[in-house]
Structure 1
Amino acid sequence: MAKVSDTLVGNKTKVYLEIVKQLREMITIDGLQSGDKIPSERELSERLNFGRSSVREALRALELLGLIETRRGEGTFIRDFRGNHLVQLLSTFILQDEKAKRDVFETKCYIEMDCLRLALQKIDNKNIVNLKEWANQDNSVNDDEFFYQIIEIADNHLFSRIWSILKEYYHSLDSKKIVNPRQDYLLLIEALSEKKEAKTLSAYYNLRNLSVFNDKY
């Protein structure tokens, strides 16, 4: 069977995307973990059905990201790719797809809404006072810091970890800083203080400009 060429795939970005996707599947199927050796360039070329030059470029890029390491005379090994390296990998190779980018943003929004629901059940007057004081500080309101406080009030460690990862993915895809009017955050805090779910979600939709969600809630 002929090898897939850069021309057939369309461009190098798509070649990287396909090779990385297949490598991830191969690592899962083979049960490989950090520290394990991966097949040689020639073996990968045959197994993944890509030309050796394309496989070589993809491996070189993964090594630059710190996801794999080549040891002279030994071969290529998987490194511990948790944390920022994984974020870089996803943003550089996997999340170039526009639908994947939308999925990251939508999932992040759902997590934030669920955290707001939990916060409604647990928030107290001291939390409200602290949020209002923080939002009224002279410096501009930092969106990440605001939702970090909401997630702290929600007190769900799993949501916190998922949101933190999604936040990093989101920022790696779009370097523009989120800047919303201070009043939008104050309205959301006010809704939380009244412990009204519909009003809280409405304030959130306004903050995120998410009219698309209105039909779902």
Structure 2
Amino acid sequence: MISADNLKSGDKIPSERELTERLNVGRSSVREALRALELLGLIETRRGEGTYIRDFRGNQLVQLLGTFILQDEKAKLDVIETKNLIEMDFLRLVLNRADEEQLLKLKSLVEADQLNDDQFFYQLIEMADNYLFSRIWLILKDYYNSLDIKNVEYNRNSFLMLIEALAAKDEKKTLYAYRQLRNLSILTDKY
């Protein structure tokens, strides 16, 4: 319903009665579901006003789900590997889709030390212009950030080397720069 009605954070959701009718379920089921969504911090009820969608981007939901999904080391390693593979694939899209102006803007942000790693790659994924990649990467990034891995600090030169390879439209140099950035020297050319 959120998607069909194009609801966004801050928008009011339908009343319990309307939800009961639209979803063709009992009122107690709707009430229980709303209570669960409120406990997860996805909605908020304002007395006398109604129920509203919350901005849940900073929500602890990913961390909560991550504690159940990512309980073993193999699952954690799979998240890291999948995130890296997704990043390499959207870099290939950036090679074909980004224009010089976009890359110059990104370079100036990096030179001014205005981006952390997540922000840097978010800029790149925007250039890839693929909504599904973007959604998958955002979820993987949140899971990755919930793993409590020792924070790796990326230096500006690694970002600049990657931008330079993208600007040259050189896939081999781009993937090499990415591997250097992520310290993935063990990956072979098949990736």
Q: TM-score, normalised by structure 2?
A: 0.67
Of the three residues 31, 38, 63, the one matched with 1:88 is 63
Matching residue within 182, 187, 190 for 1:213: 187
Percent identity, aligned pairs only?
57
The 1-side partners of 2:166 and 2:173 are apart by: 8
**1:162-216 Cα distance to aligned partner (Å, 9 max, x none):** 1001111111112644311210110000000000001100000000011222253
Q: Which amino acid aligns with 1:149?
A: Q
Report deviation, 1:145: 0.6
Bigger proportion of residues as helix? 1
Question: Does the 8 A contact of 1:116 with 1:150 survive in 2?
Answer: yes
Q: For 2:107, which of 109, 132, 140 is the aligned residue?
A: 132
Alpha-carbon distance change, 35 to 216 in structure 1, aligned in 2, over 3 angstroms: farther
**Which has the higher Rg, Structure 1 or Structure 2?**
1
Which residue pairs with 1:148 in the alignment? 122
Amino acid at match of 1:183: N
So what's the TM-score if we normalise by structure 1?
0.60
Q: Which runs of 4+ in 1 moved over 3 A?
A: 34-38, 62-67, 82-86, 175-178
CA distance in 2, matches of 1:210, 1:156: 25
Trace 1:1-217 onto structure 2 (pairs within 5 A).
Answer: 35=30, 66=40, 84=59, 86-137=61-112, 139=113, 141-174=115-148, 176-217=150-191
Work out whether residues 63 and 146 of structure 2, in 8 Å CA contact, stay in contact via their aligned partners in 1: yes
**Aligned-partner Cα distance in 1 for 2:147–2:69:** 11
Cα distance in 1 for residues equivalent to 2:167 and 2:65: 38
CA distance in structure 1 between the partners assigned to 2:60 and 2:158 by the alignment: 34
Q: CA RMSD in A?
A: 2.7
Distance (Å, rounded) in 2 between the aligned partners of 1:202 and 1:65? 45
Distance (Å, rounded) in 2 between the aligned partners of 1:210 and 1:175:
16
Question: Once the 2 structures are TM-superposed, how far is the Cα of residue 132 of structure 1 from its aligned partner?
Answer: 1.1
Is the 8 Å Cα contact of residues 120 and 192 (structure 1) preserved in structure 2? yes
